[in-house]
Structure 1
């Protein structure tokens, strides 16, 4: 059984994950552990007390982000309006990416068993939200959890293609995307 971290250790871990996310966002996978420790205001040894390798640190960032999405999704699973809940979840996912795009870190953890397990839980959460929204007629009957999972990054990706775009342009594309999920005026989709 894992013991909970002491308050100072938990604070150091939070600082470390935030600093590492910022450093990786700015410098990519070449960011050094020394620079991450300096940014977090902790010693390099503290980094290695929490994470034996840089790969473990990257996995922890990915797990932290995915766990945050799972928590948001689970909180919304029993919302009275399943369509609004799905839109709120997609908004949370887009906002998280808007804050700091670290999608490249997921590829760095492709073989990590813990990341794969948590990724599976995220897929289950998205499936549950989509199933409820579909069951209540809020989205078209032929939309799957996989469809929504794959579309979650689309609003940010589209907005990134517009030089000098306002920071909240992704909201426009999320609205267009979500309207496309609605059953009104929908045409049958090609094969899944």
Structure 2
């Protein structure tokens, strides 16, 4: 099987502009956003959109892939960091900042749009588990915190801020700091419930 030919610089730039316009349109209108509206926002014709992406789901999947791949790249780079605790905090900061740059809540509705999305999401979850394992082994986070816990907390800072009208742009950093303090072992009390049943194990086993 041959690898896809790389896009020319101008074609790659057009694709990037199209994905940015589509992400903005989906953020404003949800998954009901039309290809016509996306094309208009990008300043191109509908035909150009369909030359890049056969369906709207393909376009949505490409947005998801770009976001997950970028975040996973940050996580994988941090796996060899000298300070595992700082590495986990940097990753969680990158995750929250990515969502802050654009309302990505529509991605939660998108589901598994393609095998590539599913594969990349599994790979990223595996990366998170490894970051958490290193931080826990280093004593930087409490011993009863799992990768599944951290995966579920990744969106929390932005989710909390979404309830604040006219929130300052960096308010999410306050809640990320509260979350990370809660992950640290100092002053920790036993957690009242176990992590989600089997969730972390399913992610880890499927990533092997």
TM range (shorter): over 0.9
1:149-188 alignment runs, 5 A limit:
149-188=151-190
Relative to structure 1, the CA distance from residue 145 to residue 73 in structure 2 (aligned partners, 3 Å threshold; closer, same or farther) is same
> How far, CA to CA, are the matches of 1:6 and 1:49 in structure 2?
15
| Aligned position for 1:26 | 28
- After superposition, residues 112-151 of structure 1 pair within 5 angstroms as 112-151=114-153
2:107 and 2:166 mapped to 1: Cα distance? 25
Q: C-alpha deviations, 1:126-170, integer Å up to 9, x for none?
A: 011111111111111111111000000111111122223212111
Aligned: 1:55 with 2:57: yes
- TM-score scaled to structure 2, two decimals? 0.88
CA contact (8 A) 1:79 1:85 kept: yes
1:73 is aligned to 2:88: no
Q: Name which of structure 1's ranges 137-146 and 36-45 shifts more when overlaid on structure 2.
A: 36-45
Aligned length: 192
1:191 corresponding residue in structure 2: 194
* Pairwise CA distance, 1:111: 5.1
Distance in 1, matches of 2:157 and 2:13, equals: 33
On the 8 A contact 2:57/2:113 being kept in 1, the answer is no
Q: CA deviation at 1:108?
A: 2.0
Q: Structure 1 residue 106: deviation in Å?
A: 3.5
Larger mean CA deviation between 137-146 and 96-105 belongs to 96-105
- The CA distance in 1 between the partners of 2:148 and 2:105, in whole Å, is 18
Query: Which of 11, 16, 20 is equivalent to 1:9?
Result: 11
Shift of 1:121: 0.6
1:82, 1:136 within 8 Å by CA — same for their partners in 2?
A: yes
Q: Which runs of 4+ in 1 moved over 4 A?
A: none
CA contact (8 A) 1:66 1:118 kept: yes
Match status 1:109 vs 2:111: yes
Root mean square deviation of aligned Cα:
1.3
Query: Could you tell me which residue of structure 2 aligns to residue 95 of structure 1?
Result: 97
